[in-house]
């Protein structure tokens, strides 16, 4: 994979031409990463060289302070190339956005992580899900513990679905202290700390290159100031603000991009498939024209929703509804293409099959549809 010539600066990397080149470069190895399940290290070297790992780092810390609209374009382009890379990159953007906006993070750690992303391509992600608790969005206190010991904290526990772990430099670990009213929140842990081990359990239907493995913390020591965003359990409040909107828009953008890849595969198949008894491409048949029209209608709806989302005017309930609608329509679009193409679409030799497996993973991300709909119903009843 070679560096596109258009990437002369981070801002230049946001041009339409540069993003199209980026998509094409990442697409070259997408099938290989899907089959092997290897972490896409080369993709992140490309993104680092392009200056795209620190888009949401504020300008005062040397980053670009990119808008949601700018970041969405990058995530869409990366996902058109290789969606697992896009998911890990989206988590990087969200973590950098949140930590720099937080008044609780120590200023020196903010500067350190900004420099790491800009100068060394360092990645960060939050590790939240646990074997017994499941997704934190449904409530509960983490079993992962943070215990004070002299001038440091000692972290112990297990995290599941640790997206991008082999490429991470920093782990933002959701845990609870051993205080009577426990502190709950995030402790920043360097990924190379002694006491961290990984169980390579990720062998998934789709998004296979995310390497979302299980990670064990066995008496891992971090400095006291690495309790970066914690508060007493009695004072916890639901997540609000920019990150909620950005999360929903970026995840939706990713899976919409997968559906657009599937649409293009299906269109190309219709144009190239010439049954002998027809003597013309399948694209000449009204039945298949109608099918493609249905798919494009769903993707048109997605585009309108995502353009509304990037204007940063939606409340939390609306942002969650956006994610539900866009992801459901992305899945429906690819499902229609699979049904219409029959056996060829489900062949491992077909990129359409890979896109189908990837787009189904849209359903696993919080907030899930049932939570979104209950929240929307409650909001409607309050009005």
How high is the mean pLDDT of the chain? 94
- Residue 174: the pLDDT is 97
Residue spans in the chain of domains classed CATH 2.40.110.10? 126-234
pLDDT band at 306 (very low <50, low <70, confident <90, very high): very high
pLDDT digits (tens, 9 = 90+) for 242-270: 578 999 999 999 999 999 999 999 999 99
| Every domain range in the chain assigned CATH 1.10.540.10 | 12-122
Mean pLDDT of 172-177: 98
Terminus-to-terminus CA distance in the chain, angstroms?
54
Which residue intervals of the chain bear CATH 1.20.140.10? 242-382
Give the right CATH number for 12-122 from 1.10.540.10, 3.20.20.10, 3.30.210.10, 1.10.3720.10: 1.10.540.10
pLDDT in tens, 309-332: 999 889 999 999 999 999 999 999
Output Rg (C-alpha) for the chain, integer angstroms.
Answer: 22
For residue 72, the model assigns a pLDDT of 98
Residues recorded for the chain: 383
pLDDT of 299 higher than 70 = yes
Average pLDDT over residues 365-370: 94
Give the confidence band of 133 by pLDDT, cuts at 50, 70, 90.
Answer: confident
Query: pLDDT digits over 65-86, tens only?
Result: 999 999 999 999 999 999 999 9
The confidence band for 236, taking pLDDT boundaries of 50, 70 and 90, is: confident
**Percent of the chain residues topping a pLDDT of 90:** 89
Alpha helices in 82-129 (DSSP H): 83-101, 107-120
User: Would you say domain 242-382 falls under CATH 1.20.140.10?
Assistant: yes
Confidence tier at 238 by pLDDT (50, 70, 90): low
What is 153-178 written as a DSSP string? EEEEEEEEEETTGGG-SEEEEEEEES
pLDDT band at residue 134 under the 50/70/90 scheme: low
Mean pLDDT on 360-368: 95
The model's pTM is 0.95
**Confidence at residue 2, expressed as pLDDT on a 0 to 100 scale:** 54
* CATH code for the structural domain at 126-234: 2.40.110.10
List, for residues 205-235, the tens digit of each pLDDT value.
Answer: 999 999 999 999 999 999 999 999 999 988 8
Backbone angles phi, psi at 131, to 5 degrees: -55, -40
* pLDDT(129) > 70: yes
Give the Cα separation of 68 and 338 in Å (integer).
32
Percentage of the chain surpassing pLDDT 70?
Answer: 94
Neighbouring C-beta atoms of residue 251, cutoff 10 Å: 24
Selected residue with higher pLDDT from 138 and 324: 324
Give the 3-state secondary structure of residue 180. Answer: coil
Q: What mean pLDDT comes out for the span 93-99?
A: 97
Band the pLDDT of 6: cuts 50, 70, 90: very low
Q: What is the pLDDT of residues 28-52, one digit of tens each?
A: 999 999 999 999 999 999 999 999 9
Instruction: Write the CA distances from 344 to 98, 348, 349, integer angstroms.
Output: 44, 9, 8
Q: Under a CB-based contact definition with an 8 Å cutoff, are residues 269 and 343 in contact? A: no
Instruction: Please tell me the distance from the alpha carbon of residue 144 to that of residue 158, in angstroms, as a whole number.
Output: 7
Helix axis angle, 286-310 relative to 316-341, nearest 10°?
Answer: 160
Confidence of residue 240 (pLDDT cuts 50, 70, 90): low
Q: Tell me what the mean pLDDT of segment 120-132 comes to.
A: 96
Q: Residue 185 in 3-state DSSP?
A: strand
Which residues are within 8 A (CB) of 56 and not within 5 positions of it... i.e. 6 or more apart? 63, 64, 65, 66, 71, 93, 94, 96, 97, 100
């Amino acid at each position: 994979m070679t560096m596109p010539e258009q990437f002369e600066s981070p801002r230049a990397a946001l041009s339409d031409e540069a993003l199209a080149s980026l998509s094409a470069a990442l697409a070259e190895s997408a099938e290989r990463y899907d089959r092997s399940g290897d972490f896409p290290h080369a993709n992140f070297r490309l993104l680092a060289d392009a200056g795209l790992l620190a888009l949401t780092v504020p300008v005062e810390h040397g980053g670009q302070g990119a808008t949601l609209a700018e970041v969405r374009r990058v995530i869409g382009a990366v996902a058109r190339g290789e969606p697992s890379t896009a998911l890990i990159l989206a988590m990087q953007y969200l973590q950098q956005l949140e930590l720099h906006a937080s008044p609780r993070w120590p200023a020196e750690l903010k500067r350190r992580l900004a420099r790491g992303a800009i100068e060394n391509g360092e990645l960060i992600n939050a590790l939240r899900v646990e074997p017994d608790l499941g997704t934190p969005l449904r409530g509960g206190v983490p079993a992962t513990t943070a215990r004070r010991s002299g001038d440091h904290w000692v972290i112990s526990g297990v995290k599941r679905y640790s997206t991008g772990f082999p490429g991470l430099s920093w782990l933002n670990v959701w845990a609870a202290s051993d205080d009577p009213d426990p502190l709950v929140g995030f402790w920043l842990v360097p990924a190379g700390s002694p006491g961290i081990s990984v169980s390579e359990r990720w062998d998934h239907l789709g998004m296979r290159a995310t390497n979302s493995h299980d990670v064990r913390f066995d008496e891992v020591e971090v400095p006291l100031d690495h309790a970066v965003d914690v508060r007493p359990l009695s004072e916890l409040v639901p997540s609000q603000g920019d990150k909620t909107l950005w999360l929903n828009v970026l995840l939706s953008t990713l899976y919409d991009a997968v559906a657009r890849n599937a649409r293009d595969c299906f269109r190309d198949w219709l144009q190239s498939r010439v049954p002998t008894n027809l003597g013309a491409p399948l694209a000449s048949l009204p039945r298949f024209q109608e099918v493609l029209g249905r798919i494009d209608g769903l993707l048109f709806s997605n585009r309108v929703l995502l353009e509304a989302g990037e204007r940063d005017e939606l409340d939390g309930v609306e942002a969650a509804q956006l994610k539900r609608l866009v992801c459901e329509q992305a899945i429906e679009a690819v499902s229609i293409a699979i049904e219409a193409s029959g056996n060829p679409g489900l062949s491992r030799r077909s990129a359409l099959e890979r896109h189908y497996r990837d787009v189904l993973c849209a359903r696993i991300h919080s907030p899930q549809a049932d939570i979104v709909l209950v929240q929307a119903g409650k909001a409607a009843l309050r009005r």
